[in-house]
Structure 1
Amino acid sequence: MIQQQIFTVKEAGYEIRAEVTLANKDLLVNILGGDLPHLGGVLTYDSSSQEVKEVKLFSHDGRFHKDIFLAQVFFESIKEDLPGSITVTAGVHIDGISQEQIAASKGMTEGLARQCTAWLKGQKDFKDPVYSSHFK
């Protein structure tokens, strides 16, 4: 079972969206927005091992993108309600970003997570995998 949903938040003169794919119990979340959406960071959480891994991608000037912060905020806001594992990508760029816009990004991302959590609570048709007995 695969379901998809898009959530959006507008504040401080820009929009961030979360494009969410629910594959049975697991979530793939793409947080994108601003003037130039891109891939800046990736966070993964394995619900079985409870291990979190992060990858920060390099920006055009050789520094790391700071978008991993948005992936972290989203994950921390939703982790208690996850039915399974999650991968979050984040990439929001605003040309000439202001301090107000930077400050707004955390609350905007938390708002996306709240919308996603409310949607997840309505999803009930999860299935457990069945493994063949001859594969060990």
Structure 2
Amino acid sequence: MYEFNLERDRIKLNMKAFLIGEDLCVIISGGESPHIGCVTISVPRPSLSDTSVVSATTSVLNLVGHKDDEVARVVSNDLSSKLNKTVVVTCGIHLDYITQEEINITIELIKEFTNKLIDSLL
């Protein structure tokens, strides 16, 4: 298992990743009430514009009223295409009265998580 915790101001995030055979399962949670807001699955495939490059097809199941798909889709797709693995991501981050600045910080931290995980698995 791989685990990362990042915190900045009110934003507290956790990422756990588990290898399941050759596949990868990732759980992203944080905020005041972590939950499952979205689940994605990404499957690597040759890029449509250059078959020598790995891309991914990502499917999303999002709970009504949640915006966790904005994070989960990007993380799932990046991990799948860069690691050439099937990847499932569950994501649930909730922070009451989140500001646009805090959303931007959350996105930065998620990108940092993703890069750390990729570096750990390559």
Identify which range, 110-119 or 41-50, moves more after superposition.
Answer: 41-50
Which residue of the partner structure matches residue 8 of structure 2?
11
Distance 2:23 2:9 in 1: 32
How far residue 16 of structure 1 moved from its aligned partner, in angstroms, is 1.0
Percent identical across equivalent pairs?
A: 26
Q: Is the Cα contact below 8 Å between 1:73 and 1:106 reproduced in 2?
A: no
CA root-mean-square deviation: 1.8
Cα displacement string for residues 74-110 of structure 1 (whole angstroms, at most 9, x for unaligned residues): 1244333224200011100001212211111111110
Select the structure of larger CA radius of gyration.
Answer: 1
Partner AA of 1:90 in structure 2: C
Q: Is the Cα contact below 8 Å between 1:12 and 1:100 reproduced in 2?
A: no
Which residue of the partner structure matches residue 58 of structure 2?
52
Instruction: Give the TM-score of the pair, scaled to structure 1.
Output: 0.75
Q: Which runs of 5+ in 1 are unaligned?
A: 59-63, 122-136
Partner AA of 1:40 in structure 2: G
Q: Which runs of 5+ in 2 are unaligned?
A: 47-55
Instruction: Give the TM-score of the pair, scaled to structure 2.
Output: 0.83
